Amino acid sequence: MSDLLTESSANILTITLNRPDRMNAISSEMLSGLSEALRAADAEPGIRCILLTGAGRGFCAGLDLRQVGALGGGSGLASEVGEKAPKAVKIDELPPMVLRRIDTPILCAMNGPAAGYGMDLALGCDMILASDRSRMICPVRRGVVPESGGTWLLPRLVGWQKAAEILFLGRTLEAPQMLELGLVNRIVEHDRLAAEARSWAEEIATNAPLAVAATKRSMRLGLESSFDANAHHVMAELMQLFRTKDFGEALAAFLEKREANFEGR
């Protein structure tokens, strides 16, 4: 079976990390495959929401350290990885970078532990529904940094001091702590997670996709711009939306007191 599964239905693309025997540890093949799947979904007008989850009892155990060990050949691991990794990896093409750039909403169904790269991958999604069996595990105890977005995301999500506490101490965050810190949207009973995540994805997919994408772009740019600059960007987005068929449909549905049927045009 493929290490990465994709399934499309009802305007939703479900991407499943599929190495349950390795707690879905990320291989180099999965890195490129995930980036390609995300970019393809974002380019497909029929996909209005991406649902990311893991197979088995874990979401993602991080990068596959066995594979990294094989790269280093055992002795002199750090120096050999340091020499080889920059040649093998194009940072702009890695999943965390792609996650930040695409406009299609991404919902993470965290079905179990998310460690290191898996934690960063989850935090890079727009929303997270987490199983009551899930937890987040910082990678510093493995001798590495949260290199895939964690050092950028956590201070913005929880503040500098709390992020430093989590990262410097190598803390493991259990499900209630993740919810208390605002790192996840909701904790769901494990057996209900898949159905609840699907319900959220379907609700997203019923909204006007062009408006949702424009909203996500505006939020993303707002993190790195002044209020005035963001206001000008939002107004430009709004002017474009006024010209769409979906806007006309929204007005007609409102006047006719019915549900809108958006086409993404």
Do 171 and 222 have their domain in common?
no
Domain housing 45? 4-205
Residue 70 has a pLDDT of 47
Do 148 and 232 have their domain in common?
no
The four Cα atoms 151, 152, 154, 160 give a dihedral, to 10 degrees, of 90
Residue 89 has a pLDDT of 57
Nearest to 113 by CA among 191, 175, 34: 175
Residue 230 belongs to some domain of the structure: yes
Task: Name the amino acid, one letter, at 204.
Answer: I
Report the CATH number at residue 23: 3.90.226.10
Residue 140 has a pLDDT of 76
Do 120 and 217 have their domain in common?
no
Kindly report the number of other CB atoms within 10 A of residue 230's CB atom. 16
Residue 262 belongs to some domain of the structure: no
Do 8 and 130 have their domain in common?
yes
Residue 67 has a pLDDT of 67
Task: Name the amino acid, one letter, at 185.
Answer: N
Per 3-state DSSP, the chain is made up of helix, strand and coil in percentages (nearest 5) of 55, 15, 30
Residue 75 has a pLDDT of 35
* Last residue within a domain, chosen from 164, 187, 205: 205
Residue 56 belongs to some domain of the structure: yes
Q: How far apart are CA 179 and CA 158, in angstroms?
A: 11
pTM above 0.85, yes or no: yes
| 239 sits in which H/E element | helix 227-242
Q: How many domains does the chain divide into?
A: 2
Do 149 and 231 have their domain in common?
no
Q: What is the DSSP string of 162-228?
A: HHHHHHHTTPEEEHHHHHHTTSSSEEE-GGGHHHHHHHHHHHHHHS-HHHHHHHHHHHHHHTTS-HH
Do 55 and 127 have their domain in common?
yes
Do 192 and 180 have their domain in common?
yes
Task: Name the amino acid, one letter, at 66.
Answer: R
Do 199 and 231 have their domain in common?
no
The four Cα atoms 39, 44, 46, 49 give a dihedral, to 10 degrees, of 10
* Last residue within a domain, chosen from 205, 221, 245: 205
Do 213 and 193 have their domain in common?
no
Task: Name the amino acid, one letter, at 171.
Answer: R
Residue 235 belongs to some domain of the structure: yes
Residue 150 belongs to some domain of the structure: yes
Residue 242 belongs to some domain of the structure: yes
Q: How far apart are CA 158 and CA 155, in angstroms?
A: 6
Do 89 and 72 have their domain in common?
yes
Do 72 and 201 have their domain in common?
yes
Do 213 and 170 have their domain in common?
no
pLDDT of the chain along its 265 residues, tens only? 599 999 999 999 999 999 999 999 998 889 889 999 999 999 999 999 999 999 999 999 998 877 654 444 443 334 334 444 444 557 778 898 899 999 999 999 999 999 999 999 999 999 999 999 999 998 777 777 777 788 899 999 999 999 999 999 988 999 999 999 999 999 999 999 999 999 999 999 999 999 999 999 999 999 889 999 999 999 999 999 999 999 999 999 999 999 999 999 9
Residue 26 has a pLDDT of 92
Residue 265 belongs to some domain of the structure: no
Residue 40 belongs to some domain of the structure: yes
Q: How far apart are CA 66 and CA 58, in angstroms?
A: 18
